[in-house]
Amino acid sequence: MEKSHGYRLKSSYGKPRYFLCTDLSLSAQQILPIYQKRWPIEVDNFYVKQHLGLADFRVQSYEATEKWCAIVFLALVFLQWRLNHAPAKERLRSLADVVRQHRYEHARTFVEAVCQEAVQLTDYLPVLQRFLCQPT
């Protein structure tokens, strides 16, 4: 079993925060920057589980599980690619930011298409009927 030591730090919230580390050669000042770099990874893991369905899938066969994992992996690769290639002005810091940006872009494109069609038809009712169809 590895030895570890912990550090108690006061937070701005008034409650102490505790950090454990198995590397006994590191000081609290060395551990905290490492922890800060790790936090976005935890946020990404949470987002992938919650919004890509990584933690909640129900498939029966091995083949279905294999295909599902491939789709989730492709989605993750796409999000990571967008994160790494985002222009600096977008300020994307996590996969959650990428998902929010992607959803915003799709919503904007959808609204623009609806507006353009309404302008072309000079009547918004047929456009609403087309884009907001009632489920059967």
pLDDT (tens digit, 9 = 90+) per residue, 95-112? 888 888 988 999 999 889
In a domain, 20, yes or no: yes
Report residue 4 as tokens.
């570890």
Domain count, the chain: 1
Contact between residue 18 and residue 6 where contact means Cβ atoms under 8 Å apart: yes
Report residue 2 as tokens.
């590895």
| In the chain, alpha helices (H) | 28-51, 62-85, 95-121, 124-131
Report residue 29 as tokens.
């000042």
Contact between residue 48 and residue 54 where contact means Cβ atoms under 8 Å apart: yes
- Determine phi and psi for 77, rounding to 5 degrees: -65, -45
In a domain, 11, yes or no: yes
Residue 19's domain spans which residues? 1-40
Q: Is residue 4 over pLDDT 70? A: no
pLDDT at 136: 56
In a domain, 111, yes or no: no
- Closest among 105, 110, 108, 107 to 92, alpha carbons compared: 105
Alpha-carbon distance of 6 to 126, in angstroms, equals 65
In a domain, 132, yes or no: no
Report residue 47 as tokens.
């987002």
Q: Is residue 73 over pLDDT 80? A: yes
Alpha-carbon distance of 99 to 83, in angstroms, equals 10
1: confidence class by pLDDT, cuts 50, 70, 90: very low
In a domain, 2, yes or no: yes
- Closest among 96, 73, 98 to 84, alpha carbons compared: 98
